[in-house]
Amino acid sequence: MTGSHTAAVYVSADIEGCATLVHWDEVRPGSGREYERARRLLVAEVNAALEGAFAGGAQSAWVNDAHSSMRNLVTDGVDPRATLVSGRGKPGYMLEGIDGQDGAVAFFVGYHGAIGDRDAVMAHTYSPRVIWECRLWGRPVGELTINAALAAAFDVPVALVSGDSTTCEEARASVPWAQRVETKRSLSYYAAECDSPHDVRAALRAAAHTALARRAELQLFPLPRPIVLEVDTLRTSQADAIARLPGFQRPAARTVSFSGDDMREVYRALVALITMGTAAEA
């Protein structure tokens, strides 16, 4: 990234990693007070990151609502300088729109630990109804690492990651050049020692500003070829259905795999896997 100019900041906004959130009833879309509070926390954390980015010289911003129904961010609550993409069924899923952001850096806000990570709050990988474990090149990974790999396919480095302590550990291993904002320290699947939302927002502003100031140090997530994706499904019936998709292999009863030289193709296969695995249990 030496000598590059950052024209845009791309924000992928999840929610489980936001400050003080520790249970599914807080993050499942609905009319409950818990979810409404979570939505406010998410908007505030996204806006804090945007404020720091614009103060640090960003010229434009794109925010992709990446959680569940992908309609969590209240439209008129997001910083008006940013473009918001909302709604599910997006081809790019958690990174919809990143392909059009020339010179961009990526912020992953409100991210969470992978399924199987010890003690990670609400740990899962994309779909807890389908995915038991997800691996790249044989190594267990979470959404953060897979999304960083897709961003790299579009020449976009990850510059900032926020989430619980487990998420920050994954970021340290996968994208060590990125700024990290820890929102809480995981104690169990449903418990954490939580920083105040006020302090988290302040940390996000500072980290976003620093990320742009140090953009020349950013790197792309490495993508050795072939890119091998393996997923252990929750049930054999899901593996039955997914194995019928073109390009998939089935090396074990609950394991399906896909290999390719283009991370964009591999990511499309992952989205198809999630869709088919969900449909198999409908």
Residues designated as active site: 124
CA end-to-end span of the chain: 45
Nearest to 228 by CA among 265, 178, 185, 189: 265
Nearest to 97 by CA among 84, 80, 110: 84
Cβ-Cβ contacts under 8 Å for 107 (sequence gap 6 or more): 9, 10, 11, 12, 49, 53, 158, 159, 160, 161, 162, 208, 211
Q: How far is CA 182 from the centre of its chain?
A: 15
**Counting every residue, how long is the chain?**
282
Q: What is the distance between the alpha carbons of residues 117 and 142, in angstroms, rounded to a whole number?
A: 9
Compute the 3-state secondary structure of the chain and give helix, strand, coil in percent, each to the nearest 5: 35, 25, 40
Q: Which amino acid is present at 204?
A: L
Residue 84's φ and ψ, nearest 5 degrees, are -110, 130
